[in-house]
Structure 1
């Protein structure tokens, strides 16, 4: 039986570049180049006719550039995956491509193996998304989960949530929990656990041997809660040593060997963060009740929608209080997105917890924030809290109100 091959459309206005890409891709038995285009307008027409799985798209072309073409192609067919190739490496160009709907962003000069690996990773992620859209989401108890925690801006409490959720899941499920600090420049998860790392993910990715669980275990810190921690680099400049390909390999291995892999992220999009988002089964988005956080979350939800990641997102409101002039209903209306769970404000508990290096779910299990973490853990364990779940709950409440006043 013939294996179904990945259908690829190459879009580039330079003959030599198209030929080079074709040569790279045709060496892979699972790839099939179905066509070529010399500008965005031709790509738009051929995408409709050829129905490729992947489009390898140059960003700078005459008639219609790659970014504009990507946006139009994705609007016509959300299931096609576009990989942008560009000479520009700045974060503003990456964000522009992702907002347009691109799945990945590769900087020239092209490395053949990097391009092949990127196509395979993007195609696999799209298959997972399609399975979810067809209602094939598996139960967490049966399938290991990668849970990424992302903050709309700095200071919203994503690390606090990551640490306490990991510790609580370890106690509640008795499963194997890995906590990855993906805030590569300023990650401080070890401080929250009062442990001192001797080596980090930066040293791990420089290992010459084959990456496997035995090697990764040598870099994991084991906390008394049984959470195993992969620390961020110990100096900001070492963050450059860790790339998206490293993260993809590490997360794949961790998922094969742990029940839950919790990922703490920086408060901005970069290639390593995007890889974590793509590979995650659940996303917990953290925000607070202030206008900058609401504005940033609105932008992030729009971007996640363009990346086809919004459907697996759950919104967590941290430091929830009714005395700030903004209500939960105001936030939900502004974002057009339901809040899955809230964590009440308790500065004394949280600051004391951080200063002592003891997660508050362990030091004070009856505190209101601890009970909130327990409810969030239930959402994770039972794979609930998505917008479809919440909209059904609100519809039932509305019906009950109409019936009984």
Structure 2
């Protein structure tokens, strides 16, 4: 009808924000981090701690999704604080920040429970991308928890056990000498098996220090096998799928760590668990 006011727009659903805690002993750094994240609509800084002890306490009280942790602080340093937060708040993901870029710092940080390592100075885009990456791990972990009210006992009927033949096969391509084309052969074989046999195929880059399958496939991923290794004992198929890269040939790939020093994170036990889980998918 003429003269009637236009209908009011339907308000958008409230977007869940990523809760971030900053732990750094330098006031200027804390303020700069706040400014870098201020205009990110899906990120909220919920607190800032001035040292490791305060960071551990605030992590318990505020339950952040992500902690931005400086590594060099008086008293309790970032590595010790990360270990304590990982034990007390397993669903809080930690990003270590440091002016030190040596491999030993990276390795110690990852072993303490950190999921990312940013070398100062870093850009706002690098910071935001890292927060989004580790937050996805939080969501994957929480999705695996039983929902409130969900039945925890047996309520259905027993299904027949799966045949061993339903699990995938592992084909290893190895050479004691580098530069002979193992990666090229592995990728071509994976694509050929997928095309000829119409089979689900994943190629795993086992060259953890100098893997080049990402180059051959022209693919990049924010997550690699190094992100699965710390969860080796509690892997589920959903988490593995979130890390696998889908290639346009139809195969999937589990890429090597982006830095050689991260290879130590993938222990033989972790690699075995990952391969066994992959056999259930392919």
Q: 1:314 aligns with which of 242, 251, 274?
A: 274
Count of equivalent residues:
226
Report SS of the residue matched to 1:262.
strand
Q: 1:22 is paired with a residue of what secondary structure?
A: helix
CA shift digits 1:13-66 (9 cap, x unpaired)? 000000000111111111111111011100010011011111000000011000
CA–CA separation in structure 2 for the residues paired with 1:188 and 1:123: 27
CA distance in 1, matches of 2:172, 2:58: 37
Richer in helix (by share):
1
Match of 1:247 among 210, 221, 232: 221
Structure 1 equivalent of residue 280 of structure 2: 379
Q: TM-score, normalised by structure 2?
A: 0.64
Deviations 1:214-253 (A, max 9, x none): xxxxxxxxxxxxxxx5269xxxxxxxxxxxxx5339x999
1:213 maps to none
Task: Identify if the C-alpha distance between structure 1 residues 258 and 49 changes in structure 2 by more than 3 Å, giving closer, same or farther.
Answer: farther
**How is 1:176-191 mapped onto 2 (pairs within 5 angstroms)?**
none
1:262 partnered with 2:235? no
Tell me, in whole angstroms, the C-alpha distance in 1 between the residues paired with 2:66 and 2:177: 36
Q: Match of 2:221, SS? A: helix
Deviation beyond 6 Å, 4+ runs, structure 1: none
SS in 1 for 2:118: strand
2:120 and 2:185 mapped to 1: Cα distance?
38
Distance in 2, matches of 1:154 and 1:86, equals 37
RMSD (Å) for aligned C-alpha atoms: 4.5
Q: Is the 8 A contact 1:39 1:63 kept in 2?
A: yes
Structure 2: tracts of 5 or more residues without a match = 1-12, 148-170, 224-241
Cα distance, 1:85 vs structure 2:
0.1
What's the offset of the Cα at 1:257?
A: 4.8
Distance 2:203 2:74 in 1: 46
The answer on whether the counterparts of 2:18 and 2:42 sit within 8 Å (CA) in structure 1 is yes
More strand by share: 1
1:57 aligns with 2:57: no
Alignment of 1:3-402 (within 5 A): 3-134=15-146, 155=176, 162-163=186-187, 164=189, 167-174=192-199, 201=215, 229-230=216-217, 247-248=221-222, 255=246, 257=248, 259-263=250-254, 265=256, 270=261, 297=268, 301=270, 313-315=273-275, 340=276, 379-381=280-282
Instruction: Quote the offset at 1:117 in angstroms.
Output: 1.1
Partner SS, residue 3 of structure 1: coil
Is the Cα contact below 8 Å between 1:85 and 1:107 reproduced in 2? yes
Deviation at 1:93, TM superposition (A): 1.2
Q: Is the 8 A contact 2:53 2:76 kept in 1?
A: yes
What is the DSSP-based 3-state SS (H/G/I as helix, E as strand, rest coil) of the residue aligned with 1:45?
A: helix
Where 1:41 maps in the other structure, the secondary structure is helix
Task: Give the 3-state SS of the residue equivalent to 1:71 in structure 2.
Answer: helix
Counterpart contact for 2:16–2:42, Cα < 8 Å: yes
Cα distance in 1, alignment partners of residues 281 and 203 from structure 2: 15
SS in structure 2 of the partner of residue 57 of structure 1: strand
